[in-house]
């Protein structure tokens, strides 16, 4: 039991104030990630617009157009369901 208490005491130490620093490198990485996500978003929108313009111009095969999905409709049965079945 003393060994467990010793292990928990080592793992539960609070770092000192001078050991915890955010730093400029972490801030630069954070800003870089924000810029990368923004660039990817703008690029995606641009590619989607180009694909829509090509479809509107008729560059794609019209037989490739997706047909709307039709969900099956259950027909009501003539007899009501029996309880316990």
- 42 within some domain: yes
Per-residue pLDDT tens digits of the chain, which is 85 residues long: 677 777 777 777 777 888 777 899 999 999 999 999 999 999 999 999 999 999 888 888 777 666 667 878 777 666 666 776 5
- 40 within some domain: yes
- 34 within some domain: yes
Q: What is the pLDDT of residue 28?
A: 96
pTM of the model: 0.51
Q: What is the pLDDT of residue 22?
A: 82
For residue 34, give both structure tokens: 């924000």
As a whole number of angstroms, the distance between CA 65 and CA 53 comes to: 15
User: Are the beta carbons of 54 and 60 closer than 8 angstroms?
Assistant: yes
- 85 within some domain: no
Structural domain containing residue 36: 22-56
Q: What is the pLDDT of residue 66?
A: 67
């Amino acid at each position: 039991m003393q060994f467990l208490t010793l292990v928990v005491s080592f793992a539960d130490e609070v770092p000192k104030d001078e050991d915890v620093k955010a730093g400029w490198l972490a801030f630069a990485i954070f800003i870089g990630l924000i810029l990368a996500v923004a660039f990817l978003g703008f690029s995606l929108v641009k590619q989607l617009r180009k694909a829509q313009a090509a479809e509107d111009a008729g560059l794609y095969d019209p037989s490739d157009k997706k047909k709307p999905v039709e969900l099956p409709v259950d027909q009501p049965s003539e007899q009501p369901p029996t309880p316990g079945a």
